[in-house]
Structure 1
Amino acid sequence: MSRVKIIKKENAPENLCDFPNFHKSGSITGMKKLYYGKDALLVRCGDYIYNVTSEPEIYYNAEKLITYCIITTSEKPHIDILNEYYPKPQIR
């Protein structure tokens, strides 16, 4: 079954629109079968689904939620990662 990860618009890379894409109403299975290949890495952002196979880090970082905390105990504030969460894939 096809797996598409979701990226929020504010978390999407600036060059996302440069990747091949199709409308969310299109057939994911059909696009993979006819154009992208069965192992294509697809992400959905807004109303479009993008083939990001050429930059897999976009796919693997999608749906990743990170909680940041600003530490101000020194002269220079810095950011620490408090928590990383990777949702479990849904089996359909």
Structure 2
Amino acid sequence: MTSKLFDDKVVRAKTRSERWIQLVPDTTGGYWLYEPLPELKLGRLLFDQEDNWIYDGDLLNVSEQEDVAAVITGCQREMDELLSSIKQL
């Protein structure tokens, strides 16, 4: 699987719980997850060819896992737009 992040650069994602997580692509098609301060390794997100993902770790709750996966797969922008349009109603 090819990386979904632009140019395989480190990207930061903010979860709904206001937690910042750094996403670092690896060579196996997964992403290492880190909390910048206090430099805590949070585990990995692994993807298959159909963009199904699994979290390999135990420090993120399900909501945080979904937030990070949405950033990687590109769904975060669409979700933000949907939530914004709902709030305007």
TM-score, structure 2 normalization: 0.30
TM-score, structure 1 normalization: 0.29
Query: Greater RCO between the two (CA within 8 Å, min separation 6)?
Result: 1
Q: Name the structure where helix makes up a greater proportion of residues.
A: 2
